Chain A
Amino acid sequence: MAASMVCRVRAAFLRFESDLLKILGLNRFNGPCLAPTGVNLQQQPHQRDSSPGVGFLESLKESVLWAVPRSRRSLERRHTRRFQHHKHFEHAKPKKNIIACLDCGHWHERNTLCGNCYEKVRQETQEMIAAMKEDEKVKFNHPDTELTFLYQDELKLKDQFVGTHIVEVKKKRPQWWSKNLLTSANKR
């Protein structure tokens, strides 16, 4: 650890020495290197890149005012920049992922449910919830048994659902109801 410390201190000192020599203009090329012909190897004071005809103020402007617009941007360029579609969040491209629902034929995006079908199911759910809220035992209470929703045309099946609480929905069951939903997964 002491050795690495010494190395670091030495490296820092060498750097300082080389910087100092650079400032004073006394550094020499150490070791072999390619020497281009016609180049004055004596270090000259740093020349500005500006042309010889440029006065003091111009050279000052060139060094001070670096990143400044040269000329006014035309309306065409401004519009082209602002309305490029890959930059602006408002870009409107026609969507190619719109498909027709196989059941009802309404349009919907490919990774979403059909809005029309969902609306139909949502309405039905609202009616079931309304029936639940009218039921005396469920209105202000949470029964400890499962709920079974029976529609008007199924009331004679009450005996099949003995351990559950039956909520009567005062309408006919819709035709589109899935048969899977009518049988319990746990039922033996």
Chain B
Amino acid sequence: MNGGTYIAHSGFLKRFVLMLRPTAVSAHVLGFHSSPSQYLDFEPDKPYTTKKWPKYNEIVYPPKKDGELTRPAEICHQRTLIKYSQEKMWYIGMMLRGLTIDEGIKQMTFYKRKGGAIVKEILLEAQKMAIEEHNVEYKSNLWIADAFPTRGYIIKGLRKHRGPRFGVIHYRYCHFFVRLIEGHPPKHYMAPEETGNEKMTEYIENLRKRKIWHGL
């Protein structure tokens, strides 16, 4: 999809969007909302999806050997073409990594932005998938190993200021990916901040590592 296509959404308050490139009139302009979103002016035959992430669910590992620990269940879930900015979703993903699924859902309930409600739905869907498809016994016994967005389409529109001045509007889409793993989360998902003593020992070590080049 090209970045220069137009949208002409009549419902947009106080702004009117100009055609940048003449394309066929899209369904949403005529008032039909059958496409995944009101801004996209194409109707894909199949629902748009990124292909790699769900494939992680289809990996079949060899049978467990004697003495080997049971591999914990891993559930990869995604939602594509969310009408939200990737940069805003990043903060949500950053917060969720390393939390238990219950804690994640609880935090999303009280995250007062649009992204919070969306990600809460995604987490609940993933939890449901875990029970129904991935043979997870307890729905609370999951933790969020991965939660991150990637960019989807960015559709550009124009906003007219006075005179010959125009502003470009970016209508941003993103995809959101979640990986749940059965069990308890690790104590430190991100590296913990070093204590004063650790910093001191590191400093002294670095001083001792110094080499006098071309010395005796």
The answer, yes or no, to whether A91 is at the interface (CB within 8 Å) is yes
| CB-based contact B103/A94 at 8 Å | yes
Question: Complex Cα distance A109/B110, Å?
Answer: 8
| CB-based contact B110/A95 at 8 Å | yes
Contacts of B91 in A (CB 8 A): 83, 88, 90-92
| CB-based contact A92/B106 at 8 Å | no
**A83-142: which residues lie under 8 A (CB-CB) from chain B?**
83, 88, 90-95, 98, 107, 109
The answer, yes or no, to whether B95 is at the interface (CB within 8 Å) is yes
Closest-CB distance, B85 to chain A (whole angstroms): 9
The answer, yes or no, to whether B99 is at the interface (CB within 8 Å) is yes
Q: Which residue of B lies closest to A115 (CB)?
A: B109
Closest-CB distance, B151 to chain A (whole angstroms): 15
Interface readout for B84-98 with A: 1 if CB under 8 Å, 0 if not?
000110111011000
The answer, yes or no, to whether B111 is at the interface (CB within 8 Å) is yes
Closest-CB distance, B101 to chain A (whole angstroms): 14
Question: Complex Cα distance A43/B163, Å?
Answer: 58
The answer, yes or no, to whether B107 is at the interface (CB within 8 Å) is yes
Question: Complex Cα distance A13/B213, Å?
Answer: 66
| CB-based contact A92/B110 at 8 Å | no
| CB-based contact B106/A98 at 8 Å | yes
| CB-based contact A93/B110 at 8 Å | no
Question: Complex Cα distance A93/B109, Å?
Answer: 13
Chain B facing A: main interface SS: helix
Contacts of B103 in A (CB 8 A): 94
Closest-CB distance, A104 to chain B (whole angstroms): 15
Contacts of A93 in B (CB 8 A): 95
Question: Complex Cα distance A125/B97, Å?
Answer: 41
Question: Complex Cα distance A83/B91, Å?
Answer: 9
Question: Complex Cα distance A94/B116, Å?
Answer: 12
Q: Which residue of B lies closest to A100 (CB)?
A: B106
| CB-based contact B95/A92 at 8 Å | yes
Q: Which residue of B lies closest to A82 (CB)?
A: B87
| CB-based contact B88/A94 at 8 Å | no
Contacts of B99 in A (CB 8 A): 94
| CB-based contact B88/A95 at 8 Å | no
Closest-CB distance, A42 to chain B (whole angstroms): 49
| CB-based contact A94/B95 at 8 Å | yes
Q: Which residue of B lies closest to A85 (CB)?
A: B91
**B64-97: which residues lie under 8 A (CB-CB) from chain A?**
87-88, 90-92, 94-95
| CB-based contact A90/B107 at 8 Å | no
Closest-CB distance, A75 to chain B (whole angstroms): 14
Question: Complex Cα distance A93/B107, Å?
Answer: 9
Which listed residue (A90, A98, A107, A109) contacts B88, Cβ 8 A? Answer: A90
Contacts of A95 in B (CB 8 A): 107, 110
Contacts of B90 in A (CB 8 A): 83
Closest-CB distance, A166 to chain B (whole angstroms): 41
Contacts of A83 in B (CB 8 A): 90-91
| CB-based contact B109/A92 at 8 Å | no
Question: Complex Cα distance A95/B157, Å?
Answer: 37
Contacts of A88 in B (CB 8 A): 91
**8 chain-A/chain-B pairs, Cβ below 8 angstroms:** A83-B90, A91-B91, A92-B91, A92-B95, A92-B111, A94-B107, A95-B107, A107-B106
14 extra A-B contacts, CB within 8 A, seeds A94-B99, A98-B106, A98-B107? A83-B91, A90-B87, A90-B91, A90-B113, A91-B91, A92-B91, A92-B92, A92-B95, A93-B95, A94-B95, A94-B103, A94-B107, A107-B109, A109-B110
Closest 6 CB pairs of A and B: A92-B95, A92-B91, A90-B91, A94-B107, A90-B88, A95-B110
